[in-house]
Structure 1
Amino acid sequence: METGTVVPLLPESEASGAPEGDATSRNPYAGLVSHLRASWLSGKTRPLEYRTAQLEALGRFLDDKKQQILEATASDLGKVPFEAELSEIFLSKNELYETLKNLSRWMKDEQVDRTLATRMDSAFIRKEPYGVVLIIAPWNYPIHLFLVPLIGAVAAGNCVIVKPSEMSKKTERIVAEGLPSYLDKDCFAVVTGGVPETTRLLENKFDYIFFTGSPPVGRIVMTAAAKHLTPVTLELGGKNPCYVSDTCDVTNVARRVAWGRFFNAGQTCIAPDYLLCTVEMQEKLIPALREAITDFYGPNPRESPDFGRIAGDKQFRRVQRLLGSGRVALGGQTDEAERYIAPTVLADVQPSDPIMQEEIFGPILPIVVITSTDEAIDFINSRERPLALYAFSSDDKVVNQVLERTSSGGFCGNDTLMHMSMPSLPFGGIGNSGLGRHHGKFSFDTFSHHRGCLKRGMGWEPLNAPRYPPYSQQKFGVIRATCKVTRKNDCTLL
């Protein structure tokens, strides 16, 4: 498929109802957006049965395209089959099943408390779709990171345009050519292309935009959304700290950290980005990490079928440059032809080193030496708030101390990555690491407008008399008594 094409498409003049050379000539995607908006306004996406049918179709897409997805992610990104099936397919299916299991309950009106004045009325929150939603996905998990938000958007009753990453070419082609045959073409579409196409796409008015990527591009997306006052969710990543206290099982810490850091060759937005520990713990961790890496990938990880590769040449060169920080304690070998960077541990890294200035997004683990838990917490709090924060200790008080005195998008004690595997937990950033949340019901809520509704009867008009002019203190006393929100043991006097 050629860059910049749109699938599926009616001819734009038909899709928009506009004459050739009108709005569609100004923006190549205006007709598509207009067509989807007309479908949404028709109410087609609102019934539970419709949403369920589209969600089940997404399940069939995953089943039918499983082998193609595994082959495409291996070709595009060097993903090993086990990791690809786990992260791209299995976790996406978990999200799908969680949504299908609970959707009818999530959609129901939510009754709310009423004051005395509204006791005979109906007051509730209705969960309504926003309208036409845009989902822009990244390349590192090219199926999971478009499909999980898409599940939430479909469940909430929206029409959706999906923009997969152009960096993962074969996976992009599977999505662009395959997905439209599973979903309703009047309500869902795939747009392909690079920066120019995405820029033109963002010129259109959407009702919600969901973006996963880097903070600099997130700012561009948010600026484009602001022109239309469009709400956004931004999943942006960042440098995720991992504190290791002096009281812990070093072997277990090494295995859990190595798995989280080197999964998908480190190209995971919630991977532990650097370790904080004392110099004594650093000396214990390095041999334990060496043993864990050998257990996982053998004496030569380059030959392991279970260790991935860097996704592109530009990414490879960027990550390779970061190897100059600190001293190489483990690994450090590279092969540009294969885009291979060995699982690497850097010791004695300084906060001012280049590797500490940007998200690594590769299989390198720097260790920054600190002297205490307090210093580790101060170090974390002196930097941008991360997408994920990890703390290891055999003393639960230490883990809780890190949790209570820091701020991050998510937190995981005594392990890595596992918190994002749970649809029952919200996933999202804070500050520089993102805005908004999703997963499970949180995805449904993100793509739903929570509409406050009050329905009153036409009778009992004398009960409204105290709010009408002419005003008096006596009327105000009646209003205060009937409309006041009371606390326990409150006493209301007229």
Structure 2
Amino acid sequence: MGIFSSRGIAPQTAMATGSDDFDDVPESLDRVESAGIAAVVESLRDAVDTRLAYPRRFRATQLKALERMLDAHEAEFVAALYTDLGKSPVEAKLTELDLVRAEIDHAQLYLSEWMEAKSVKVPLALQPAAAKVQAQPLGLVLIIGPWNYPLQLILAPLVAALAAGNAVVLKPSELAPATSALLAKLVPQFLDRRAVAVIEGGASASSVLLEQKFDHIFYTGGERVGRIVALAAAAQLTPVTLELGGKSPAVVMDGSHVAVARRLAYGKFMNAGQTCVAPDYVLAVGKAAELLEVQLAKAIGGFYGKNPLRSKDYGRIVNLDHFQRLRSYLDQGTVVIGGGFDEDELKIEPTVMIDVDPDSPLMREEIFGPILPIVKVESFDAAVRFINSRPHPLAAYLFSENPRLQSAFEDQVRAGAIVHNAPNMHLAVPGLPFGGVGASGMGAYHGRHGFERFSQLRPVFSKTAVIDTLRAVYPPYTWAKNKIIGKLL
């Protein structure tokens, strides 16, 4: 059984990066539908018990099939992403499909190496013996995707889960209904229905899923809903990976360089600012703030023209509730660039603000939209103190060519990732782990890190019983044995 579709009314109060608002359920599932979800999960449990997804050939076949799905239906995915978020075809391909393809290619290249058992040295006291670490599939995995990158952020962890030999339930975000429906249609056509299923629906479907027994739950979304997922998982001692968000800061030492403004604007305003690692605010040192304002205006105009609301390369806000939340932020400081909006089209111009209160909602809540506050600070040290006085972000960015400052930033700032001069770009490196710390999440994936996230790294120890070399440590513990044990260990 590959698909169970439970199309409910999407909740209108989900967190900025959340998938479902689990604790405020606006729709209901009848017993038949709930039983159907449980039956899907149970059918995939059979795949785990029979080790269907374990062989390397099966894993490689599924990865290749996933790649074919993206290639054969690229135009449909691009259209769905435009419907859900107004993404331009180029941005959709670059930030969604191509990043998943890169993960697939990387996994295909290194799958045999990842699966190979790794030998471990055995201490002299235990010789002769052999030890190794085997990567074993966790079993049945639930992946809950977000709405902001509704294709990439559900399929990238799927690549890792399949490479690790797991059966998988995918729960796409109901706030991106076109992408969710397309995944529900295509996944069972390309992937083995005995090992992968898509379950659609809103908060109630998610709640029913969280009542089932999984061997791992992978959630991408907001902190508040992440707590709900973790609490539900804890009831069954199910391990979780939480990819959350937070306020990723950007420290700018010199705002006069046009490249700094371009990279800030690109990282911030792609997907209309609805990116978990987008620069959330800027800490401009000294005179950098005034210089940066000038360069940001040029960069934004160069990207989106004189009327960004009509630009074909600029996306929209996901729904009216998020639009209104973002609109309220425009009153919490002085707008120096942008500030215009179109409620009918759910669009807000790329906006830069100054004179913001550090304790305002704008500076305390994750913005998750096209608004960039600039806060003046006196020094690099003051910027670091500001960042460290707040919850650990998913990423922290430093714009400086000074190696000493780069090293100090790495040493003194705690974040999911440290990036110099190129926000968001670390996500495109399959060999780098992607994940948060503290309030921005737990656990990391991408490349080998994703393979290991969905695996049990199981130790195996082997020692012959033909010669009993352990007699030296058996009781009774004489003075001589004590001396021998001390030297051996």
Q: TM-score range by the shorter chain?
A: over 0.9
The letter for the 2-side match of 1:295 is G
2: CA distance between counterparts of 1:86 and 1:110? 36
2: CA distance between counterparts of 1:341 and 1:472? 80
Deviation at 1:119, TM superposition (A): 3.1
Deviation at 1:325, TM superposition (A): 1.5
Equivalent residues, number: 465
2: CA distance between counterparts of 1:471 and 1:379? 59
**Structure 1 contact 328–344 (Cα < 8 Å) conserved:** yes
What per-residue deviation string (whole Å, max 9, x for no partner) do you get for residues 235-270 of structure 1?
Answer: 001100000114x65211101100000011100000
| Gap change, CA 1:481 and 1:211, over 3 Å in 2 | same
SS for the counterpart of 2:287 is: helix
- The one of 166, 175, 182 aligned to 1:174: 182
Q: Does 1:111 align with 2:119?
A: yes
- The one of 314, 332, 339 aligned to 1:325: 332
Tell me the equivalent position of 2:440: 433
Deviation at 1:382, TM superposition (A): 0.3
**Structure 1 contact 24–31 (Cα < 8 Å) conserved:** no
The letter for the 1-side match of 2:462 is K
- The one of 15, 29, 37 aligned to 2:37: 29
Tell me the equivalent position of 1:338: 345
Deviation at 1:24, TM superposition (A): 8.4
- The one of 211, 220, 241 aligned to 1:212: 220
The letter for the 1-side match of 2:231 is T
Tell me the equivalent position of 2:27: none
**Structure 2 contact 309–341 (Cα < 8 Å) conserved:** no
What per-residue deviation string (whole Å, max 9, x for no partner) do you get for residues 263-298 of structure 1?
Answer: 111000000000001352111110100000111111
- The one of 296, 309, 322 aligned to 1:315: 322
Tell me the equivalent position of 2:474: 468
- The Cα RMSD (Å) is 1.7
Q: Does 1:412 align with 2:419?
A: yes
2: CA distance between counterparts of 1:196 and 1:142? 19
1: CA distance between counterparts of 2:186 and 2:355? 49
- The one of 298, 310, 323 aligned to 1:291: 298
SS for the counterpart of 1:60 is: helix
2: CA distance between counterparts of 1:24 and 1:98? 41
**Structure 2 contact 256–295 (Cα < 8 Å) conserved:** no
Deviation at 1:478, TM superposition (A): 2.2
**Structure 2 contact 4–36 (Cα < 8 Å) conserved:** no
Identity of aligned residues (%): 43
Q: Does 1:128 align with 2:136?
A: yes
Q: Does 1:254 align with 2:254?
A: no
SS for the counterpart of 1:123 is: strand
Deviation at 1:354, TM superposition (A): 2.0
TM-score, normalised relative to structure 1: 0.92
1: CA distance between counterparts of 2:439 and 2:479? 51
Deviation at 1:26, TM superposition (A): 7.4
Q: Does 1:139 align with 2:147?
A: yes
SS for the counterpart of 2:373 is: strand
SS for the counterpart of 1:324 is: coil
What per-residue deviation string (whole Å, max 9, x for no partner) do you get for residues 110-145 of structure 1?
Answer: 111111133321200010001100000000001100
Deviation at 1:3, TM superposition (A): 5.7
The letter for the 2-side match of 1:238 is G
- Greater radius of gyration (CA): 1
SS for the counterpart of 1:398 is: helix
2: CA distance between counterparts of 1:227 and 1:460? 46
SS for the counterpart of 2:374 is: strand
Tell me the equivalent position of 1:478: 484
**Structure 2 contact 286–379 (Cα < 8 Å) conserved:** no
Unmatched 5+ residue regions in structure 1?
Answer: 7-22, 485-494
| Gap change, CA 1:353 and 1:335, over 3 Å in 2 | same
- The one of 436, 452, 455 aligned to 2:459: 452
Deviation at 1:214, TM superposition (A): 0.1
Tell me the equivalent position of 1:70: 78
**Structure 1 contact 24–30 (Cα < 8 Å) conserved:** no
Greater Cα offset, 449-458 or 157-166: 449-458
SS for the counterpart of 1:229 is: coil
Greater Cα offset, 24-33 or 206-215: 24-33
**Structure 1 contact 5–191 (Cα < 8 Å) conserved:** no
2: CA distance between counterparts of 1:239 and 1:367? 13
The letter for the 2-side match of 1:250 is H
1: CA distance between counterparts of 2:359 and 2:167? 46
Unmatched 5+ residue regions in structure 2?
Answer: 9-30
Deviation at 1:405, TM superposition (A): 0.6
Deviation at 1:29, TM superposition (A): 2.6
**1:258-407 correspondence runs (5 A):** 258-407=265-414
The letter for the 2-side match of 1:476 is N
2: CA distance between counterparts of 1:190 and 1:2? 7
What per-residue deviation string (whole Å, max 9, x for no partner) do you get for residues 1-36 of structure 1?
Answer: 996169xxxxxxxxxxxxxxxx98975432222221
Tell me the equivalent position of 1:57: 65
What per-residue deviation string (whole Å, max 9, x for no partner) do you get for residues 150-205 of structure 1?
Answer: 00000001100000000111100010111111111111101110011101110011
Tell me the equivalent position of 1:48: 56
2: CA distance between counterparts of 1:338 and 1:469? 80
